[in-house]
Amino acid sequence: MNQFLASAQRFLKNKNTITIIGVIIILVLLYIGYSSQINQAVEPIKVPVAVETIQPRTEITDDMVELVDMPNISIGDNVIRTKANVVGKYSNVNSVIPKGSMFYTDTVVDKSKLPDSVFVKVKKGEIVYNFPVNMESTYGNSIYPGNTIDIYMKTGNGTDEKVMLGKLVENVEVLAVKDSSGKNVFENTDENRTPAMMIFGVPEEINILLRKASYMSSLGVELFPVPHGGSVDATGATEVSTQQLADYIEAHAVNIPLPVQDTTTTDELLPTMTETGGTPNKVTLTYPKGCGSTYTCAYSINGGADKKVTKTKQNVSFNAAGTLIATLTEKDGTVHTATFTINVGETNTQTNSTNTTTGQ
């Protein structure tokens, strides 16, 4: 036994032996670590994938999703890993999710966050314009979002008025082409949608010009899009400039003036008057409460000296026609003046009153 222990000690004290043992231990640890990493990377986990192709703006229902085993290494950080985080959500406006595809965080959104990309793309200072189109005016549905177009205008019936043709608006970027129900024509690959409106942004003055022209169909005015840089057949028409077309629209548009706002306000501090008529004509002046404390109240007859008043009501008699001026002065110096013309023998309630307010 002692000899065995002595041999073991000599073996362990040998440097070469220690080195070999250390190398073996390191190799074993590396192998275990590498194997663990490989196993973890290839270990399958269940992730939701699309059972069918899902078009943009589509609600994702339970029957559209199934769980499939996928190697962990093939699943990126932006992949949605639970079915609960997919069902009930919507495919994004610019995302077609193919059959068998995993769901990604940028392709699946809540309904409340589902934007209309049209308004996002409108440039600062521009207003959205909805231009009516059809299959023919879009060249067989060949004008796509992102294309640039020119808007041409034709006017005149060729009988009572000569036909004029010209370019009204130039180089407009198409933001969207939608059908009659407001759905984007090109966002769904499974449906053949008919274009009904073309949406683009233009400056306010162009927006107004287009809208005015759109109401002139009775004059033979017709607006139609042309791919930017393209040409139109002007046979039988007189080609005119953009300015001439704009002048024509303005000449035939009716500008309705805005109604004048009634700025008359009731002055609650203005003294009022009532009469009994007859001879003498008894007149009663009524002031707001506060004469002698909050306000300074007074009246004058035929331009004479002011007589101060402390009561709310003041009686004055006239034996001949005259003028009665009643005033109320606020503490800040603002004066409210009412002027009355008194006709003896007649009953005239505030026949002539003015509210002159002055301040210091």
Q: Which two tokens stand for residue 306?
A: 């002011």
- Mean pLDDT, all residues of the chain: 83
Q: What angle is formed at CA 33 by the lines to CA 28 and CA 37, rounded to 5 degrees?
A: 145
User: In percent, how much of the chain has pLDDT > 70?
Assistant: 81
The fold of 47-113 is Type Iii Antifreeze Protein Isoform Hplc 12 (3.90.1210)
Closest CA to 144 of 77, 90, 193: 193
Q: Decide if pLDDT at 350 tops 60.
A: no
pLDDT tens for each residue of 250-303: 988 876 666 666 555 678 899 998 887 777 888 899 999 999 899 999 999 988
What is the structure's pLDDT at 354?
A: 47
Q: Which two tokens stand for residue 313?
A: 């009501």
Cα gap 236→240, rounded to integer Å: 13
Selection from 110-119, 170-179, 247-256 with the highest mean pLDDT: 170-179
pLDDT surpassing 60 at residue 12: no
Task: Report which DSSP code applies to 165.
Answer: E
E strand or H helix at 7 = helix 2-13
Average pLDDT over residues 316-328: 88
Between CA 155 and CA 239 the distance in angstroms is 11
Query: For 135-162, what is each residue's pLDDT tens digit?
Result: 999 999 999 999 999 999 999 866 767 8
CATH topology for the 272-358 domain: Immunoglobulin-like (2.60.40)
First to last CA, the chain: 123
Cross-sheet strand order for the sheet of 313-318: 272-275, 281-286, 313-318
Mean pLDDT, residues 319-342 taken together: 89
Return the HEC string of 190-258.
CCCCCCCEEEEEEEHHHHHHHHHHHCCHHHCCEEEEEECCCCCCCCCCEECCHHHHHHHHHHHCCCCCC
Which residue reads 């559209």 in tokens?
A: 64
What pTM does this model have? 0.49
Question: Is a pLDDT exceeding 50 seen at residue 45?
Answer: yes
* Between 205 and 192, the higher pLDDT residue: 205
DSSP E strand boundaries for 262-303:
272-275, 281-286, 296-301
Confidence of residue 11 (pLDDT cuts 50, 70, 90): low
Q: Is pLDDT above 60 for 1?
A: no
- Judged against a pLDDT cut of 70, whether residue 187 lies above it is answered with yes
If you average pLDDT over residues 115-136, what whole number do you get? 84
